[in-house]
Amino acid sequence: MLSSKKLAALLPLKKIGETLYIFDELVSTNAFAMERAKDQALSGTVVLADRQTAGRGRLDRSWFSPGKSNIYGSLLLVPETTIQYLGWIPHMAGVAIAQALEQQTGIRIDLKWPNDLLIGGRKLGGVLCDSFRNAGHQTCVVIGFGINVNITQSEFPSELQASATSLHIQCHCPLDREALIIKVISSLEENWENLRSNGPQSLLVEYRNWCVTIGQTIQVQFPDGSQLKGLAHSIGEHGQLKVIPSPSDPNEQSARMRDIHSGEILHLRTTDQQ
């Protein structure tokens, strides 16, 4: 089980992590953080659970959340006044977590747009952000993150065994979850401060370096069920994925650039990096 004593002792005495909740089991760390923020939100609050009974991924998909093996957490942020960089927070979180895991393990971590964590094309984890205004008229952002740490290949459900991985599988040994959590929280704080102080441009170059979607031929599955095939050309100033539609795509009558703000991305093949 996660050790609250160890985490409290190791956490740096900074704003993020000053308020820390740790549970043996929760329905969802994001749901708990959002509930706590309804009336008054304390920015930097961190929520961790050893197991989730109804974890959520992007596009409202369920997130496989067994106990005693992985990391499930949420970070509550309350950005000040106008937030021109609000759309960049999910990207910031993806970069921060990828940096932390790579520094801790030495294994190359990739990002699939917008913020899926991959190793060798297999999914290691992901980020889910929820934003809302609470009763105190504060804009609140909850960054939820799930990372497969010590789960083995055979422990994944059959439908995930071909597409998912964990740090244990890649490192061939179990890892210290508390040490990883400390590294992740520290990296989130550092990158959040950078985004607040320097704006999205400071993150854009860094994100491009981590995002392996750029330069790939992809298929976008939109929430309404429609699809688009094309070349993932670049990342726009608001964090959107800029795609050149394939000339053979029957849904596209021209090769004009499309801005993708949400959707499920499937990498079809690798092309030259742009």
> Tens digit of pLDDT per residue, the chain (274 long)?
787 778 877 776 567 777 889 999 999 999 999 999 987 878 999 999 999 887 655 545 555 777 789 999 999 998 875 567 888 999 999 999 999 999 999 999 999 999 999 999 999 999 999 998 888 888 899 999 999 999 999 999 888 889 999 999 999 999 999 999 999 999 999 999 999 888 888 899 899 999 999 999 999 999 898 999 999 999 998 889 999 998 876 665 555 899 999 899 999 965 433 3
In 10 A of CB 268, how many CB atoms?
A: 14
Spatial distance between the Cα atoms of 243 and 228, rounded to a whole number of angstroms: 9
DSSP state of 243: E
For residues 61 and 134, membership in a common domain is answered with: yes
Residues 222 and 204 in one domain: no
Residue finishing a domain among 195, 210, 225: 210
Question: 183 and 66 in one domain?
Answer: yes
DSSP 81: S
Q: Looking at the 3D structure of the chain, how many domains does it have? A: 2
Q: Which of 160, 191, 210 is the C-terminal boundary of a domain?
A: 210
Is 133 in the same domain as 228? no
- In this structure, are 164 and 240 located in the same domain? no
CB count, 10 Å around CB of 251?
10
Domain co-membership, 62 together with 120? yes
Q: For residues 27 and 201, give the distance between their C-alpha atoms in angstroms, rounded to a whole number.
A: 36
DSSP code string of 162-229: TTB--HHHHHTS---HHHHHHHHHHHHHHHHHHHHHH-THHHHHHHHHHBTTTTEEEEEE-TTS-EEE
Q: Report phi then psi at 155, rounded to 5.
A: -85, -15
Q: What is the pLDDT of residue 63?
A: 58
Picking from 170, 194, 210, the residue at the C-terminal end of a domain is 210
135 shares its domain with 252: no
Residues 14 and 136 in one domain: yes
What CATH number should be reported for the domain holding residue 258?
2.30.30
pLDDT in tens, 145-194: 999 999 999 999 888 889 999 999 999 999 999 999 999 999 999 999 99
Q: What is the rounded CA–CA span in Å between residue 167 and residue 173?
A: 8
**194/162 same-domain check:** yes
Residues ≥6 apart with Cβ < 8 Å to 226:
251
The residue segments making up the domain with residue 224 are 216-270
Q: Report the predicted TM-score, pTM, of the whole model to 2 decimal places.
A: 0.89
